[in-house]
Chain A
Amino acid sequence: MTALEVEGIVKRFGDVTALDGLSFEAGAGEFFCLLGPSAAGKTTALRAIAGLERLDAGRVRFGGRDVTDDPVQGRGFAMIFQTFALYPHLTAFENLAYPLREEKRPADEVARRVDEIAEMLRISHALGRKPNTLSGGEQQRVAIGRALIRRPGLLLLDEPLTNLDAKLRHDTRAEFKRLHRELGMTMVYATPDQLEALTMAERLAVLRDGRIVQTGTPEELYATPGDSFVATMVGAPPMNLIPGEISRNGSGPVLSLPFAELDAGRWRGAATATEPVLFGIRPHDIAPVNGERRGPGFSATVHLTEPLGDVTVIDLQASDSLVKMVLPEHEALAYRVGDKVDVEISMEDTHLFFRETGVLIPSVERPDQ
């Protein structure tokens, strides 16, 4: 069942169009992510849903009710801000109790609910303290608690992990998943970090310049990016995009890259395409050859190695292009900068995009596209 429905919302700030006909739907109880680079319009979209921005066009519906013209207070959504926005002169307890105050609930009920939520978020020890004496993680959890205490139908989260250190980010990601499972509320989560989006979201939408580029489950977006922008946004290290040309010889279409010629028969559109293209290949679909090379591949020089612990990212230089390859750490030990290496490409998960528009050229193996 659809809970939140955002339909063609437009928001302009002077000459700048922040949201340009943005549309998406989030199901009831769904964890929905908005993924996009900075200035893509994620924050503006959340603020528009919350009612903090007046829209120039479009509608926002929640639970079948049109809330576009409702004031912020009337929508009853909760929001977690990137800055946390805790009330600096109130204690953690008063911050948590703040959303309940206007409902004129009896003091013992307020105290009980604050204690409950504080226990769930493990901040019971800090209730008497002011925000500036709390650690970043504690502030974060007070902000989460304040958003959850009213049991809102919809929770909006604006890059809530940006101001935390790496370790805390990891823990809080797990925390959000747990909270979502336990409370079952609809959540819309904006982030520039593909890792957050892939690990937490049930479905996500990739944003660019105030528009949705593609919507789907993390698996769908990872496996079949709709265009080259999504291809580079989803997955780390990002997909290699190598400029190439399509030509035809006797046996069928051929993809010419600066450093290799590949059979382009697996792309349906390739038989007729004449425009320049981008060849997309994920770093882990490239592997060094032991002995004789059988499949498609190319020769390159090791340009740079980035050990990340369990895996190592190796930048290969082939002709003028840099191509990233991921190897398990123990295999990568064999390679030094400057070494010659022969690599093979596994073609099943490679993609072809029009260079001009970035649009995906459908492949034969996936007729559903």
Chain B
Amino acid sequence: MSHPTEPQGFVGWLLSPERRGALLVAPAIFVLFVMNIFPLMWSFGLSFFNYRANRLTVPSFRGLYYYERVLTDPVVWERFQTTAIIVGSSVLLQLIVGFLLALLFERAFPGRRILLMLVLTPMMLSFVAVGVFFKLFYEPTFGLLSQFVSVFTGEPYAILATPTSALIGIVVADAWMWSPFVMLLVLAGLVSVPKYLYEAAEIDRASWWRRFRTITFPYIKSLLLLAVLFRTIETFKLFDIVYLITEGGPGSSTETIAVYVYRLAFQFFRTSQASALAYILLFVVIVLTNLYLYGVQRRSQEL
């Protein structure tokens, strides 16, 4: 029963009400496909071919050759180690600082709201801003850190000059940016503890430590797990801050696996190897993400 003024044929079929929803999301899906999904699949394909982005030779199929090369490359394992050190110490530092901040902000005190806003700011900044900020902060001649240290030693201090201190510099910058995130999660857990439980525990004469262990901790346990997993996934992909502050230096001491992929792809133009390594990283992240989602599910079942 079609109305005479309704468009006929293909256009009419396309505009019919049951296809309206699909029609509306189509542009978004199209853009997503062209900009994300297609390049993703294409680079996956490239990881099986001998291809260099700066040469015009026709790519030839090499199967799993580049995966094998990447996995047997000692440099890759070195970069993995560097990444693991940064992830481990940064996440630990974020946990400690975030936790202490949450304990501080749990109770009401004058100026709490304003202070809370200030503490949350680092998390809202862009990576570039944080990177540039810390680069200036660590700068040996004018940098605040160097100036501060020289008050005591009389000499300028270049934190980025030695491998260990440069690693510390990176970890501090990353932890500075992301501790507020951990704090937010822990704070959400802390405020979800009913106050009467603490009162009951006081009546039962429990010590501070017992109260924490038996009442507080069970409420924040699952949120802490989420914080660790989420921060591990994010820090594992750490690129921006490292590239801006040290560019992986001195030497290759702060070069994370993500920075190495970048170098392989855009400085050495070993495109196939870079793709293969990127897919290995993606696999690791997917495994971690599934752990994270499992944690989220467990938490929602508990509540």
A interface list, Cβ under 8 A from B? 50-52, 72-73, 76-79, 81, 83, 85-90, 94, 98-99, 101-102, 146, 150
Contacts and interface: CB of A to CB of B under 8 A. Distances in A.
A101 B200 contact: no
A77 B206 contact: no
B272 to A, nearest CB: 52
Interface string B188-209: 0000001011011111111100
Contacts of B199: 52, 72, 81, 85
B203 A102 contact: no
B197 A85 contact: yes
Given A81-B196, A81-B200, A98-B206, 12 more contacts: A51-B202, A52-B199, A52-B203, A72-B203, A73-B202, A79-B203, A83-B196, A85-B200, A87-B200, A94-B214, A98-B204, A102-B204
B205 A102 contact: yes
B205 A99 contact: yes
Interface of B: 194, 196-197, 199-207, 210, 214-215, 218-219
A260 to B, nearest CB: 52
B205 A89 contact: no
B203 A89 contact: no
A77 B215 contact: no
The 3 closest A-B pairs by CB, nearest first: A89-B218, A85-B200, A99-B204
A81 B196 CA distance: 8
A326 B203 CA distance: 45
Nearest to A76: B205
Contacts of B200: 79, 81, 85-87
Contacts of A89: 214-215, 218-219
6 contacts: A50-B203, A76-B205, A83-B196, A88-B218, A98-B204, A102-B206
A14 to B, nearest CB: 14
A117 to B, nearest CB: 14
A201 B84 CA distance: 67
Given A73-B202, A85-B197, A87-B200, A102 B214 contact: no
Of the listed residues A51, A86, A87, the one surrounded by the most CB atoms of chain B closer than 10 A to its CB is A87
Nearest to A100: B204
A77 B200 CA distance: 11
A146 B214 contact: no
Nearest to A103: B205
B77 to A, nearest CB: 42
Nearest to B196: A85
A99 B214 CA distance: 13
A89 B219 CA distance: 9
Contacts of B202: 51-52, 72-73
Contacts of B196: 81, 83, 85
Nearest to A82: B196
A84 B197 CA distance: 9
Contacts of A83: 194, 196
A81 B218 CA distance: 21
A226 B244 CA distance: 82
A77 B207 contact: no
Given A52-B202, A72-B202, A87 B214 contact: yes
B274 to A, nearest CB: 48
A69 B215 CA distance: 26
B203 A101 contact: no
B197 A78 contact: no
